[in-house]
Amino acid sequence: MADQTNPWDTAQVADTTTQTADAWGTPAGVATDGGSTDWLNSAPAPAPEHFSLLDPFHKTLIPLDSWVTEGIDWVVTHFRPLFQGIRVPVDYILNGFQQLLLGMPAPVAIILFALIAWQVSGVGMGIATLISLIAIGAIGAWSQAMITLALVLTALLFCVVIGLPMGIWLARSP
């Protein structure tokens, strides 16, 4: 006869009604209301937060963040075609700069940028540029730096193309 207290015994033990109950301990044959939401309503209500001088700005007094988010969402929703039209030339120029900077071998780019800095600002700036670009390459951030430079050059190009004529035009107007 199998020992009922031995957990490693392989003998078959007859099932009882308590063993056939579900995992929550409900005996077999007892009807349960699966759609009951009493457990949701029985949760205690959250205690009201009290004002504290140590943290006076815990609650937002002026919901500026939600106002700005709603405003940006409205602008994006209503002016999407305009933004898509602006994106096309910017994306074209940006991709050109990225291909140029990432396609150039790093040693050639370092020497070229150092020579440009030397001619524009002097020997000290040329040497500083050379050392800085070698350090950027040494830490493994060369491609990220070239992408950042492409973004800066794209912004510079559009500022010059749009801003310079507009500044001259506005300076001449009374």
Map out the domains of the chain as residue ranges. Answer: 90-172
The per-residue pLDDT for 58 is: 76
Q: Which of 1-15, 68-82, 154-168 has the lowest mean pLDDT?
A: 1-15
Higher-confidence residue of 144 and 31: namely 144
Classified as helix, coil or strand, 46 is coil
Pair of tokens at residue 65: 């963040």
CA distance 157 to 139: 29
| CA contacts within 13 A on the Cβ side of 163 | 6
Q: Which ranges constitute the DSSP H helices of the chain? A: 38-41, 64-78, 80-103, 106-121, 123-138, 142-158, 164-172
